């Protein structure tokens, strides 16, 4: 199997292309500055992962910006801080400020010359529009949780994507699912029999950060520490 065998790259965005962990830490600072105890970066991210995934599971149709507001409220309660709802709503809108990884836009520009670039993201359309602009608006097709009414790792999200791509003439074996999150993306990709590429942004860190730990470690067909490495590997295949 070669990288050049595929017609489409389907992407998780947050954690893979957008540095959501840095965005979360910055967006939560008004809250974490008021917590009496010291909180490590990983402790903040792990608490966020729990409340985000729990809220996604219980209210799958809630828009991501509204869901993040609930996460902020739950975190404040866990850390013993009183917050106003307008503060929670402000955090819900913070996705627009989350930065792109330095290599994402250039790698996507290159890869877009060779593949259909497809988004399958746990986000709402307004929030994604800000991120898309940061990435240079490279995507040909965008499927969001708001479109589907549920959040990954729910099978419905992958079923929706695969059914719609099939209508566009892209078969399952022609898709390479490309993502950082083992929990949200690689576990369901395994379940659907999709080829997958792990962009291991947390290669120099412990744990799973802003995502839940999967029940079992999924398998993957490729692993790169950055999008730049993926683009370079594709170039190398073409040159051989």
**Per residue in 137-190, pLDDT tens?**
999 999 999 999 999 999 999 999 999 999 999 999 999 999 999 999 999 999
Residue 18 sits at φ, ψ, to 5 deg, of: -105, 135
Confidence grade of residue 239 (pLDDT, cut at 50, 70, 90): confident
The angle subtended at Cα 150 by Cα 222 and Cα 179, nearest 5°, is 15
Do residues 14 and 127 lie in contact, with contact meaning Cβ atoms separated by under 8 Å?
Answer: no
Q: How confident is the model at residue 30 (pLDDT cuts 50, 70, 90)?
A: very high
- Residue pair 74/67 in contact (Cβ under 8 Å)? The answer is no
The number of beta carbons lying within 10 Å of the beta carbon of residue 40 is 8
36 has pLDDT over 80: no
Find, among 239, 238, 227, the residue nearest to 108 by Cα: 227
pLDDT band at 131 (very low <50, low <70, confident <90, very high): very high
Which tens digit of pLDDT belongs to each residue from 182-230? 999 999 999 999 999 999 999 989 888 899 899 899 999 999 999 999 9
Whether the CB-CB separation of 196 and 172 falls below 8 Å is answered with no
Which domains are seen in the chain, by residue range? 3-19+100-239 (3.40.50.1000), 21-97 (1.10.150.750)
Closest listed residue to residue 48, CA positions, set 74, 23, 66? 74
Report the chain's terminal Cα–Cα distance, integer Å. Answer: 15
Give the tens place of pLDDT for each residue, 80-110.
999 999 999 999 999 999 999 999 999 999 9
- Tell me the catalytic residues: 12
Better-predicted residue by pLDDT, 37 or 162? 162
């Amino acid at each position: 199997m070669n990288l050049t065998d595929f017609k489409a790259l389907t992407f998780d965005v947050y954690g893979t292309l957008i540095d959501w962990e840095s965005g979360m830490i910055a967006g939560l600072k008004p809250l974490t500055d008021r917590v009496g105890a010291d909180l490590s970066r990983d402790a903040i991210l792990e608490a966020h992962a729990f409340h985000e995934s729990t809220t996604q599971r219980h209210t799958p149709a809630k828009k991501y910006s509204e869901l993040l507001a609930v996460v902020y409220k739950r975190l404040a309660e866990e850390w013993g801080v009183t917050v106003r709802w307008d503060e929670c709503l402000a955090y819900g809108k913070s996705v627009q400020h989350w930065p792109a990884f330095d290599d994402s836009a250039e790698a996507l520009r290159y890869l877009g010359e060779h593949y259909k670039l497809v988004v399958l993201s746990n986000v709402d359309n307004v929030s994604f529009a800000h991120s898309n602009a940061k990435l240079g608006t490279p995507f040909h097709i965008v499927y969001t949780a708001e479109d589907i009414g549920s959040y990954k790792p729910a099978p419905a999200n992958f079923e929706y994507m695969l059914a719609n791509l099939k209508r566009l003439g892209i078969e399952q074996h022609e898709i390479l699912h490309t993502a950082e999150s083992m929990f949200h993306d690689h576990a369901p990709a395994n379940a659907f029999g999709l080829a997958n590429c792990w962009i291991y942004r947390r290669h120099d860190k412990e744990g799973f950060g802003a995502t839940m730990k999967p029940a079992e470690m999924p398998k993957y067909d490729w692993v790169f520490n950055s999008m730049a490495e993926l683009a370079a590997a594709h170039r190398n295949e073409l040159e051989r």
